Structure 1
Amino acid sequence: MTRIDAKFADLKAKGKKAFVSYVMAGDPDFDKSLEIVRGLPGAGVDIIELGLPFTDPMADGPTIQLAGQRTLDGGMTLKRTLELVTEFRKGDDTTPIVLMGYYNPIYSMGVPTFLTAAKEAGIDGLIIVDLPPEEDTELCLPAQEAGLNFIRLATPTTDDKRLKRVAQNTSGFVYYVSITGITGTAEADASDVSPAVARIREATGLPVIVGFGVNTPEKSRTIAAVADGVVVGSAIVSQIADGKSTAEVLAFVKALADGAHSA
């Protein structure tokens, strides 16, 4: 059982929904990023999604693209991202961390080298946006053999036939992208999300976490009410981009987490 599996089992036992926060590793710099990440569990975050900076982030909107560019300009790399996780784990051995990004940096490091380093650092799962199920032998299957969850995305355009393929080697949870398009560009609607979540649960047997288009405590609550939890990314990254203090960022995160946990 991974930390992700244990977290969902604990939340289910408590009758609570999950709140997942996304931040870009190294944003706005390594030290402040580490400070923010260390504060996320205390702000009510159940699972941390840590963005891996990449030069061509096809699924990300302007907010997250700019965050990635800031960190790349500051010298952030895959190796430094894993170093950040290693530092976090010195004080927290229970909060799950999912690395979210694109395959190129992992391919460049080499899959066996990456998986060894990720496990040693304390990564629990991977969301690799540009690796479809047809490429499972590249990273998905080796990652699962190494003890990491490999988490898939489902979208409003994922039909039943495709969903079966998506579910085949997925573990941990399914990330439901509630809107078509890129991050941070539209709002999720609970009436649209609810039937999609039910369909994905039935097909996979896994928790379904909804992301894209969740940006307020009220929206966090309404979407969590029809899913197993919510992810907030762009709204948090915007706070960091605006130069808010760590305390201000974490207060914003806590309001979002409280919304999800009240569902």
Structure 2
Amino acid sequence: MANKRMELATQSDTPLFIPFITAGDPTAEATIDLALCLEEAGASILELGIPYSDPLADGPTIQAASKRALRGGMSLEKALKLVPEMRERGLTIPVIIFTYFNPLLQYGEERFAEQAAKLGIDGLLVPDLPFEESDSLAILCEKKDLSFISLVAPTSKQRMIKIAERSKGFLYCVSSLGVTGARNELDPRVYDFLKTVREASHIPTAVGFGISTAEQVKVMREHADGVVVGSALVTEIGAREQELTNKETRPDALEEIKRFVSSLISS
């Protein structure tokens, strides 16, 4: 069962490390190799982002990755089909699909849940779907043994607790209001927020949005059960676009990315 992978990942004594990559950035083949590379580097769970032309929660780094992927013809359906190829090549960690609601709506929510379960996908995260409007999708996911990952931001304490109580898999804590992107400093108010959420949550908490340095990873691990790293990793991928696109130079580029990830999580 797909959910068994999530249980194993989230019940481990090792702090969660959850990298985000954009499907199709820079190519479909490179995405598969990147997934395997990230597992080798120590990833606990993979967030596979679906490129979208209007990514409201994403800053310029991930917007640029979406543009690269869309230019290559990537879509939600094609991204889903990458996962069984990853599994055939040996990927064992859970894969969470990170998509905006519009592509999901166009694809069909029931169709998505059915396909995701068949293709070895373990969960779904929809950043622009308000918690109050997510019941039907959460129920669809539960029926197919998919973890519906909730985002919780530093808003009212009552709402934070409500989201924490209903979450599945792991709880994605947004370190600050605003869009994704690497940050030199995190808002000091994040620590009280993480304490409140962690006390209310029955599942592990992972903090993301702006986590981009080894020092930030180290600090956040003291306040949450894991970290999500997106923009900093996507920047490294973007800087090696040509090398990752070329099959001959891809192995060296993957090694460089692996070293970058290892430097983040070995602190």
Question: Would you call these one fold, judging by a TM-score over 0.5?
Answer: yes
Paired residues in the alignment total 254
State how far apart, in whole Å, the 2-side matches of 1:182 and 1:74 are.
25
| 2:5–2:94 contact (8 Å) kept in structure 1 | yes
Secondary structure of the equivalent of 1:2?
A: helix
RMSD of equivalent CA atoms: 1.7
Partner of 1:223: 220
Which SS does the other structure have where 2:98 is aligned?
Answer: strand
Match of 1:119 among 117, 127, 133: 117
Q: Corresponding residue for 1:186?
A: 183
**1:80 positional shift:** 0.9
Q: Match for 1:6: what amino acid?
A: L
Deviations for 1:105-144, whole angstroms, at most 9, x for unmatched residues? 1111111211111111111111101111222244111111
Q: Residue deviations 1:168-222, cap 9 Å, x none?
A: 5321111111112111153453853332222112222221101112111222111
Structure 2 residue aligned with 1:257:
265
Q: What secondary structure does 2:124 align onto? A: strand
Instruction: Show CA shifts across 1:64-97 (max 9, x none).
Output: 0010111011100111101111100113353011
Between stretches 63-72 and 205-214, larger displacement belongs to: 205-214
Q: What percentage of residue pairs aligned between the two structures are identical? A: 38
Q: Of 60, 63, 72, which aligns to 2:61?
A: 63
2:25–2:31 CA contact under 8 A, matched in 1: yes
CA distance in 1, matches of 2:181, 2:187: 17
Map of 2:95 onto structure 1: 97
Aligned to 2:10: 8
Report what 2:249 is aligned to: none
TM-score calculated relative to the size of structure 2: 0.89
- Check 1:9–1:185 CA distance in 2 against 1; reply closer, same or farther (3 A cut): closer
Separation in 1, partners of 2:161, 2:215:
32
Structure 2: where are the runs of 5+ without partners? 244-252
Q: Which amino acid aligns with 2:126?
A: I
Report if the CA contact (8 A) 2:153-2:160 is conserved. Answer: no
Distance (Å, rounded) in 2 between the aligned partners of 1:225 and 1:168: 22
> Are 2:219 and 1:209 equivalent residues in the alignment?
no
Higher mean alpha-carbon deviation, 187-196 vs 70-79, is at 187-196
**Structure-2 separation of matches of 1:209 and 1:241:** 25
CA distance in 2, matches of 1:234, 1:195: 24
Runs of 4+ in 1 over 6 A off after TM superposition: none
Q: For residues 131-166 of structure 1, what are the alpha-carbon distances to aligned partners after superposition, in whole Å with 9 as ceiling and x for unaligned? A: 11222244111111211111111112x212212332
Match of 2:131 in 1: 133
Give, in whole Å, the separation in 2 of the partners of 1:192 and 1:91.
Answer: 42
Matched residues in 1 for 2:119 and 2:55: separation? 24
Alignment-derived partner of residue 78 in structure 1: 76
Task: Quote the residue 2:168 is aligned against.
Answer: 171
Asked if the contact 2:6/2:94 (under 8 Å) is kept, the reply is yes
TM-score when normalising by structure 1: 0.91
